[in-house]
């Protein structure tokens, strides 16, 4: 089986599109997984993925990158806050938003915070999805180390988070606005 055929079969059976990855990086990671499982070629590795849910989880976990933080790319959030969302809110009082590849939930929670600031009390819903069930558990817990809040102002931190031990926890009013699922 060629690498191209492997990618097609993975997309068809697992719904995981590998075409968006840099090929050199993807091959390095894929060959590392294959070596770890002592699989010699793409056909054998595909058969393993098709038959073994644990191998599927390992494959997806290893290839997906769960790196994010609150208000990552502040200039983009400012643009959303100043230009995009006010226009949408003027046309529609309650927004439904999909946050794909949401990772640990920091970005959908950031969006929920902005929506609460722009339109307090309105019933906005954010559907946040990710392929990694483990990282979604982190997102649902809403508990983060301080370094992931480096772009959160002290005012927002005080209003939308509470400190517990060495972590910051998203307040319930924001957590209720975001639903996480695979």
List active site positions. 29, 130
Is residue 126 within 8 Å of 111, Cβ to Cβ? yes
User: What would you measure as the largest C-alpha separation in the chain, in angstroms?
Assistant: 57
User: How far apart (Å, rounded) are the C-alpha atoms in residues 114 and 120?
Assistant: 10
Q: Which two tokens stand for residue 78?
A: 């400012």
C-alpha dihedral (77, 78, 83, 88), degrees to nearest 10: 40
Q: Which two tokens stand for residue 127?
A: 């559907």
Sort 165 into a burial class: Cβ within 10 Å, 0-12 / 13-18 / 19+. exposed
């Amino acid at each position: 089986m060629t690498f191209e055929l492997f990618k097609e079969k993975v997309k068809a059976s697992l719904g995981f599109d590998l075409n968006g990855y840099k090929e050199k990086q993807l091959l390095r990671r894929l060959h590392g997984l294959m070596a770890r499982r002592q699989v010699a070629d793409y056909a054998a590795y595909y058969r393993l993925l098709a038959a073994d849910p644990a191998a599927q989880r390992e494959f997806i976990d290893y290839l997906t990158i769960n790196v994010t933080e609150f208000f990552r790319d502040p200039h983009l959030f400012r643009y959303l806050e100043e230009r995009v969302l006010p226009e949408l809110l003027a046309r529609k009082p309650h927004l439904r938003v999909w946050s794909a590849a949401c990772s640990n939930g920091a970005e959908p929670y950031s969006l929920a915070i902005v929506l609460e600031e722009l339109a307090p009390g309105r019933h906005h819903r954010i559907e946040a999805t990710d392929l990694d069930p483990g990282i979604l558990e982190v997102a649902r817990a809403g508990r983060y180390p301080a370094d992931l809040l480096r772009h959160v102002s002290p005012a927002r931190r005080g209003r939308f988070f509470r400190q517990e031990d060495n972590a910051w926890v998203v307040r319930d009013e924001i957590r209720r606005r975001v639903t996480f699922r695979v």
